[in-house]
């Protein structure tokens, strides 16, 4: 349980970083590219002894880390953009409500049971995303229709990332240490980000680099502890994902309201309540 609590705080801090970046005028896109390179370096440092003894490029699992790296950086950029356009609270909920995607994957791929409670929870989750993301009429006039789709894209992307983390832990984790797998995934994402920046001729300021390093440390640590929790013999993955996502929603909702003074409309409040209820239902559906 301690591993999950650590992952909750670190994952919550990840999203909060993007609000802090706005305050210090840090380029989020630049910081994200640096973040993955630094996270990869942390992974290599943590697993240095094993890293030296593994022929990574010739390993069967290496191509999968490249694919997962693309998913990671694409979703992370969406999250950064979503925090700017939709707000910390909406993005946090959309990201964590993606819990239903790895659950659906588990039902189909791992042949887990799908009772009425799971179906009810998934239905409430979809409704919750609509209510928690809905803007007032005045806000809708100020936003382009494409921006309103960002929470939905974050929802899908985060769900795919959760699946990739589970697959990495379940299948790749038996072939190499978690730190090495994450180093390759993050390294792949970082190289994609840097190549993109070179093509765009982007300029990196020192604050982008510092922000990226802070983000990278949180990114590696939160994912590492989540994978460790998923690999526990005493904790089922459905329990880990449910508790982790509930915790992050609560953590970021409190931070958004207290520190960043984000206003919650009645419609958004309904969405938040439905989100929590749906995840609790899904959680109990997996332990009963």
The pLDDT tens digits of the residues spanning 161-174 come to 888 888 887 777 67
> What is the predicted pLDDT for the residue at 178?
82
Buried b (16+ CB within 10 A) or exposed e, 153-181: bbbebbbbbbbbbbbbbeebbeebbbbbb
> What is the predicted pLDDT for the residue at 209?
95
**Residue closest to 91 by CA, chosen among 188, 158, 29, 35:** 158
87 and 256 Cβ atoms separated by less than 8 Å:
yes
> What is the predicted pLDDT for the residue at 113?
64
* Residue bearing tokens 């994952």: 11
Question: Could you tell me which residues come within 8 angstroms of residue 240 by beta carbon, excluding any fewer than 6 positions away?
Answer: 4, 226, 229, 230, 232
> What is the predicted pLDDT for the residue at 110?
67
> What is the predicted pLDDT for the residue at 117?
84
> What is the predicted pLDDT for the residue at 112?
62
> What is the predicted pLDDT for the residue at 136?
55
Cα angle: 10, vertex 12, 13; to 5 degrees: 65
> What is the predicted pLDDT for the residue at 220?
94
> What is the predicted pLDDT for the residue at 173?
66
> What is the predicted pLDDT for the residue at 135?
58
> What is the predicted pLDDT for the residue at 188?
92
> What is the predicted pLDDT for the residue at 138?
52
221 and 39 Cβ atoms separated by less than 8 Å:
no
Listed as ranges, residues in the chain with pLDDT below 70 are: 96, 110, 112-114, 129-130, 132-148, 173, 286, 288
> What is the predicted pLDDT for the residue at 198?
92
Question: How distant is the alpha carbon of residue 28 from its chain centre?
Answer: 16
Question: Could you tell me which residues come within 8 angstroms of residue 24 by beta carbon, excluding any fewer than 6 positions away?
Answer: 207, 211
User: Six-digit token pair at 98?
Assistant: 């993606």
Rounded to whole angstroms, how far apart are CA atoms 179 and 191? Answer: 18
Question: Could you tell me which residues come within 8 angstroms of residue 165 by beta carbon, excluding any fewer than 6 positions away?
Answer: 223, 226, 227, 230
Number of H helices, E strands in the chain: 14, 0
Buried b (16+ CB within 10 A) or exposed e, 46-77: bbeeebeebeeeebebbebbeebbebbbebbb
**Residue closest to 155 by CA, chosen among 222, 99, 235:** 99
């Amino acid at each position: 349980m301690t591993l999950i609590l650590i992952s909750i705080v670190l994952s919550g801090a990840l999203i909060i970083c993007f609000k802090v970046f706005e305050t210090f005028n840090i380029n989020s896109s630049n910081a994200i590219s640096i973040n993955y390179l630094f996270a990869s370096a942390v992974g290599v440092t943590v697993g240095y002894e094993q890293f030296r003894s593994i022929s990574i490029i010739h390993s069967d699992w290496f191509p999968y880390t490249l694919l997962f790296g693309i998913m990671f950086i694409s979703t992370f950029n969406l999250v950064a953009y979503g925090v700017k356009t939709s707000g910390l609270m909406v993005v946090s909920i959309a990201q964590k409500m993606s819990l239903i995607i790895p659950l659906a994957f588990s039902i189909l791929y791992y042949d887990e049971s799908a009772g009425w409670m799971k179906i009810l929870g998934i239905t409430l989750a979809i409704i919750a995303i609509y209510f928690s993301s809905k803007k007032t009429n005045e806000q809708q006039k100020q936003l382009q229709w494409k921006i309103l789709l960002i929470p939905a894209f974050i929802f899908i992307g985060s769900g795919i990332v959760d699946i990739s983390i589970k697959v990495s832990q379940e299948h790749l984790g038996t072939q190499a240490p978690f730190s090495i797998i994450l180093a390759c995934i993050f390294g792949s994402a970082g190289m994609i980000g840097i190549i993109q920046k070179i093509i765009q001729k982007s300029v990196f300021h020192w604050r982008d680099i510092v922000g990226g390093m802070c983000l990278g440390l949180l990114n590696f640590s939160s994912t590492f502890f989540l994978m460790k929790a998923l690999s526990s013999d005493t904790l089922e993955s459905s329990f880990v994902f449910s508790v982790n996502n509930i915790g992050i929603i609560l953590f970021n909702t409190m931070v958004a309201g207290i520190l960043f003074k984000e206003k919650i409309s009645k419609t958004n409040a309904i969405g938040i309540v439905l989100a929590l209820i749906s995840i609790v239902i899904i959680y109990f559906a997996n332990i009963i």
